[in-house]
Chain A
Amino acid sequence: MLADPSVSAAVADAHRREWAFVLAATVRVTGDLGMAEECVQDAYAQALSTWGDRGVPARPGAWLTTVARRRAVDAGRRDATLRRSLPLLLDDRVDPGPQMADPEEIADDRLRLVFTCCHPALRLEAQVALTLRLLCGLTTAEVAAAFLVSEPTMAARLTRAKKKISGARIPYRVPAAGELPARVDAVLTVVHLLFTTGHTAPVGADLIRRDLVERALDLTRMLRALLPRDADVAGLLALILLTDARSATRVGGDGRLVLLAEQDRTRWDRNAIGEGVALVREALRRRPPGRFALMAAIAAVHAEAPSWTDTDWGELVALYDLLVQLWPSPVVALNRAVAVGFAAGIDAGLHALDALAAEPQLAGYAYLPAARADLLRRLGRLSEARTAYEEALLLTQNTVERDFLTARLDKLGQAQAKPGSTHPGPAPSAPR
């Protein structure tokens, strides 16, 4: 029997909105992540048939939780040893008993689940994978596809992580107030990584991985609802909204990369920008501001600038100066140098960039030679620009970005080949 499309849509919607809530509430009963996953999966499968017969319940999340928990109790009875070998630590496990608890009373345990998935004792790649699997409800195959690894590799990664959670007794608990800021930062790092991976896919044919961007946005909105007073959460949500507001204009109709300078600003998402700017203001109220708040403030300057030439570059440099103190990463310093190139002149920008040439963390980072190439091109030092573009091309694996760099190189070639132009001189050999 084919499921009614409206029922399938309701189940898909409940999957996206409620998965984390249902799973977190079920873990409270099973005490075991793997068992809870199975029960929740079964509950969604049952929803497809039951909702088809009896209609979609008024509160799908509560319905799913009740069914998943009942399955967990049945499974627990079948396997009494389960209770003795509880791998996941719970200080207050609930036993829903034969009568199901009033759905109104199901505690929102999603924060516990967030902190378990993003525990610093797990590898970052495992934290990201667990977040997609357990909080977003992606299948192992989907998580594998998101990170371009094979399904068995991802399955092994998830299993290893879950074994560590149970073996080392990583708690299912919201950390104490003293630890909370550091632990929230770890969570935001995972979500931000998810977003940046989607915003500019490191490899592949598409510049933007819409699925990952959407998941990151959903997760951040969930965190915002669960931690409404946290300035760093507000900062990350602002950053994602303001950055993603430009997504429709980053790739042209022909699939080509369109730089910020050339994007059609009338097509930016003004609702997202409005929401993002309000959140930046809120996030900046905390002193000193956090790194996501500052990054969001930088995105806000671009989002509110009427045009590329009317961008407040001085403000951008000031924000980057603050950010570089708080987050002394060479990548931040690189972006600062680009802003300096517009605020204080190309030579100043080039000077700031050259100061970064020896940074080991930037070796192999395509944006360094790409930024250098752009400044050199604007200075008319075309053969040096060519070398820098070629170097950037060697380091770029995203097809859209590669095409952009190739086009820039071709343009330079035409400029250099113009009749009457002086010989570019001995070209420095491109690094291989």
Chain B
Amino acid sequence: MAQYLILIYEDEAAWATAGPEGYEQAMKEHTAFGHANGAALRGGNALQPTGTATTVRREPAGSFSVTDGPFVETKEALGGYYLVEAADLDEALAVAKQVPAPFGGVEVRPVQVFD
């Protein structure tokens, strides 16, 4: 078995106008997803919008720059993730296809294993 991180990328602007019904609907869908895939799920969280993000970079001089905002500005931003366990990529992709992401999509990344 291997672990995969499913990263959810969505358009934050679309979420900003989705309204309470939109969020309620999303909660329902994620709950249903969790029930359907409980055996594979190893973790997961929703993230606050990129407006709350802070980026820290080490400057060549050795000091740190601390800036407001996400690491990379994109239309579709990382908004949440699931950690799943799957036998292979096909199994992970089958789970990924069920992740609710009405305003974007997901990226599936195998977790690096160090022996």
- Seen from chain A, the residues whose Cβ lies within 8 Å of a Cβ on chain B are 84-85, 89, 91, 119, 121, 167-171, 173, 175, 179
* Interface residue range, chain B: under 10
Separation of A171 and B110 alpha carbons in the complex (Å): 13
Taking a contact as CB atoms closer than 8 A, the residue among A84, A89, A121 that contacts B87 in the complex is A89
B-chain residues with CB within 8 Å of residue A84 when the two chains form the complex: 115
| Least CB separation from A121: chain B residue | B89
Q: Contact between A167 and B110 (Cβ–Cβ < 8 Å)?
A: yes
B18 at the interface (CB under 8 A from A): no
A-chain residues with CB within 8 Å of residue B24 when the two chains form the complex: none
A-chain residues with CB within 8 Å of residue B90 when the two chains form the complex: 170-171, 173, 175, 179
Contact indicator per residue, chain B 18-38, by CB within 8 Å of chain A (1) or not (0): 000000000000000000000
B40 at the interface (CB under 8 A from A): no
A-chain residues with CB within 8 Å of residue B87 when the two chains form the complex: 89, 91, 169, 171
Separation of A34 and B108 alpha carbons in the complex (Å): 24
Separation of A89 and B115 alpha carbons in the complex (Å): 17
B68 at the interface (CB under 8 A from A): no
Q: Given A167-B110, A170-B90, list of 12 further CB < 8 A pairs? A: A84-B115, A89-B88, A121-B89, A168-B108, A168-B110, A169-B2, A169-B87, A169-B89, A169-B110, A170-B89, A171-B87, A171-B90
Separation of A62 and B90 alpha carbons in the complex (Å): 31
B101 at the interface (CB under 8 A from A): no
B:83-110 near A, CB below 8 Å: 87-90, 93, 108, 110
Separation of A85 and B2 alpha carbons in the complex (Å): 13
Q: Which of the listed residues B2, B90, B93, B108 has the most CB atoms from chain A within 10 Å of its own CB? A: B90
B-chain residues with CB within 8 Å of residue A170 when the two chains form the complex: 88-90
Taking a contact as CB atoms closer than 8 A, the residue among A85, A91, A121, A173 that contacts B93 in the complex is A121
A-chain residues with CB within 8 Å of residue B89 when the two chains form the complex: 119, 121, 168-171
Contact indicator per residue, chain B 57-96, by CB within 8 Å of chain A (1) or not (0): 0000000000000000000000000000001111001000
| Least CB separation from A90: chain B residue | B88
| 8 chain-A/chain-B pairs, Cβ below 8 angstroms | A84-B115, A91-B87, A167-B110, A169-B88, A169-B89, A169-B110, A171-B88, A173-B88
Separation of A327 and B115 alpha carbons in the complex (Å): 48
B-chain residues with CB within 8 Å of residue A169 when the two chains form the complex: 2, 87-89, 110
Separation of A121 and B92 alpha carbons in the complex (Å): 12
Separation of A121 and B107 alpha carbons in the complex (Å): 11
Q: Which 9 A-B pairs have the closest CB atoms?
A: A171-B88, A169-B88, A89-B88, A168-B89, A168-B110, A170-B89, A169-B89, A171-B90, A169-B2
Q: Contact between A85 and B115 (Cβ–Cβ < 8 Å)?
A: yes
| Least CB separation from B4: chain A residue | A168
Separation of A171 and B88 alpha carbons in the complex (Å): 6
A-chain residues with CB within 8 Å of residue B110 when the two chains form the complex: 167-169
A42 CB to nearest chain B CB (Å): 28
Separation of A119 and B2 alpha carbons in the complex (Å): 19
| Least CB separation from B109: chain A residue | A168
Separation of A190 and B3 alpha carbons in the complex (Å): 30
| Least CB separation from A178: chain B residue | B94
A81 CB to nearest chain B CB (Å): 9
Separation of A121 and B91 alpha carbons in the complex (Å): 13
| Least CB separation from B112: chain A residue | A167
Separation of A329 and B47 alpha carbons in the complex (Å): 40
Separation of A85 and B114 alpha carbons in the complex (Å): 11
| Least CB separation from B86: chain A residue | A169
B-chain residues with CB within 8 Å of residue A168 when the two chains form the complex: 89, 108, 110
Separation of A175 and B91 alpha carbons in the complex (Å): 11
A-chain residues with CB within 8 Å of residue B93 when the two chains form the complex: 121
| Least CB separation from A179: chain B residue | B90
| Least CB separation from A170: chain B residue | B89
B87 CB to nearest chain A CB (Å): 7
B:31-60 near A, CB below 8 Å: none
B23 CB to nearest chain A CB (Å): 32
| Least CB separation from A167: chain B residue | B110
A-chain residues with CB within 8 Å of residue B108 when the two chains form the complex: 168
| Least CB separation from B94: chain A residue | A179
B7 CB to nearest chain A CB (Å): 14
